[in-house]
């Protein structure tokens, strides 16, 4: 029974060695069941894809694991560097495919010739943050939450709709590339979505974080992912980085959500154990409005949870 904040934290604590062993066994089972010759992962430079890659190496061996690094001109070069360095650390095959030319094929103006200049990304980072904050002040919620709950009747919805279509396109192009390369090499595509992202809808429908042959960490909350990190020798710089979808310069997960993962996961775990919003607020100290906002996200996310 959960009556205190400590009770919730205890439920969130996992047996890391047991979980790692179970995931490795699951990867091996699915690999053999599909009669594949390896695994292919989109390695972003973030903690989720890093852990999934490390788990695949433990399950299949480094000679059977390959990663694709799929940046575009707006991607943060730090994430690309971290992904490349981690692939080298694991001694696995890796390949960089810049998806900017594919985005240009859709006649998206901001991916023109000058889009590759780093100075432009710094300027975009400032502008995107200002636009994001302005919208949040006007509407009372972040653009991500607005589009998840539905844009009808909301301010500036045409701008958000068009922008979201471009961001989603990035993930869908990456999914297509992963399957294109995986099928050529008879590898299974491994997804990197965690339980928190699934529950609150923080993924792109039919994108590289939605469609895969196996999603090994789908039953682990984001804060539980961090519990596995030291056991999988994830570099400190990846662990300590602010989680980010790396879709727009300057916008990380916390900015997009307006809530920390620590708060989100506590609420999700409490709801999993049938606690009321009022009791969750009381034992966690999280404001009732924030609790209800997180619950609202999970309700909105149910409509897009297709095959995940």
Indicate which CATH number applies to the domain containing 279.
Answer: 3.40.50.620
pLDDT score of 228 more than 60: yes
Q: Which of 102-116, 134-148, 233-247 has the lowest mean pLDDT?
A: 102-116
Residue-number span of the structural domain to which 60 is assigned: 10-301
Q: How far apart are CA 141 and CA 119, in angstroms?
A: 30
pLDDT at 153: 81
244: left (phi over 0), alpha (psi -120 to 50) or beta: beta
Name the phi and psi angles at 305, rounded to 5. -75, 75
Confidence of residue 157 (pLDDT cuts 50, 70, 90): confident
Compute the average pLDDT of residues 200-220.
94
pLDDT at 211: 93
Q: Tokens 């994108």 correspond to what residue?
A: 207
pLDDT at 190: 98
67, two tokens: 């990663």
pLDDT at 82: 97
Compute the average pLDDT of residues 241-261.
88
- pLDDT cut 70: percent of the chain above it: 96
pLDDT score of 282 more than 60: yes
This prediction has a pTM of 0.93
Compute the average pLDDT of residues 102-122.
71
- pLDDT cut 90: percent of the chain above it: 68
- Residue 306 falls within a domain, yes or no? no
Highest average pLDDT, of 73-77, 205-209, 259-263, comes from 259-263
The side-by-side arrangement of strands in the sheet containing 188-190 is 93-96, 65-69, 39-42, 188-190
Query: How many independent structural domains does the chain possess?
Result: 1
Confidence of residue 33 (pLDDT cuts 50, 70, 90): very high
- Residue 1 falls within a domain, yes or no? no
pLDDT score of 91 more than 70: yes
Q: How far apart are CA 40 and CA 48, in angstroms?
A: 14
pLDDT score of 119 more than 70: no
pLDDT score of 114 more than 70: no
- Residue 5 falls within a domain, yes or no? no
SS3 for 93? strand
pLDDT at 113: 52
Compute the average pLDDT of residues 155-170.
86
Q: Which of 150-164, 173-187, 232-246 has the lowest mean pLDDT?
A: 150-164
- Residue 2 falls within a domain, yes or no? no
Which residues, 6+ apart, have CB-to-CB distance to 23 below 8 Å? 55, 59, 216, 217
pLDDT at 71: 95
pLDDT score of 116 more than 60: no
- Residue 4 falls within a domain, yes or no? no
pLDDT at 179: 98
Average pLDDT, the chain: 91
Which residues, 6+ apart, have CB-to-CB distance to 115 below 8 Å? 73, 74, 100
pLDDT at 111: 72
String of b and e for 83-111 (b: at least 16 CB within 10 Å)? bbebbeebebbbeebebbebbbeeeeeeb
Nearest to 188 by CA among 25, 19, 21, 33: 33
Compute the average pLDDT of residues 130-139.
85
């Amino acid at each position: 029974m959960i009556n205190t904040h400590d009770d919730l934290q205890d439920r969130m604590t996992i047996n890391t060695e047991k979980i790692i062993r179970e995931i490795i066994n699951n990867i091996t089972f699915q690999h053999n069941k599909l009669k594949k010759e390896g695994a292919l992962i989109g390695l972003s430079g973030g903690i989720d894809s890093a852990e999934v890659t490390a788990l695949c190496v433990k399950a299949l061996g480094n000679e059977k694991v390959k990663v694709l690094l799929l940046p575009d001109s707006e991607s943060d070069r730090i994430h690309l560097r971290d992904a490349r360095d981690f692939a080298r650390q694991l001694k696995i095959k890796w390949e960089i495919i810049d998806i900017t030319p594919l985005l240009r094929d859709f006649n998206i103006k901001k991916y023109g010739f000058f889009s590759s200049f780093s100075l432009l990304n710094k300027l975009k980072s400032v502008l995107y943050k200002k636009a994001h904050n302005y919208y949040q002040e006007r509407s009372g919620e972040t653009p991500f939450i607005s589009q998840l709950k539905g844009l009808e009747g909301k301010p500036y919805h045409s701008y958000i709709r068009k922008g979201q279509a471009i961001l989603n396109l990035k993930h869908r192009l990456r999914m297509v590339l992963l399957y294109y390369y995986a099928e050529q090499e008879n590898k299974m595509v491994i997804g990197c979505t965690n339980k928190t992202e699934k529950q609150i809808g923080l993924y792109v429908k039919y994108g590289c974080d939605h469609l895969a042959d196996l999603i090994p960490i789908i039953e682990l909350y984001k804060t539980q992912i961090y519990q596995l990190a030291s056991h999988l020798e994830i570099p400190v710089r990846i662990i300590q980085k602010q989680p980010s979808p790396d879709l727009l310069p300057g916008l990380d997960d916390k900015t997009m959500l307006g809530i920390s993962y620590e708060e989100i996961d506590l609420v999700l775990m409490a709801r999993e154990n049938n606690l009321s919003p009022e009791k969750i607020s009381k034992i966690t100290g999280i404001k009732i409005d924030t609790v209800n906002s997180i619950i609202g996200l999970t309700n909105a996310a149910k409509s897009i949870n297709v095959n995940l």
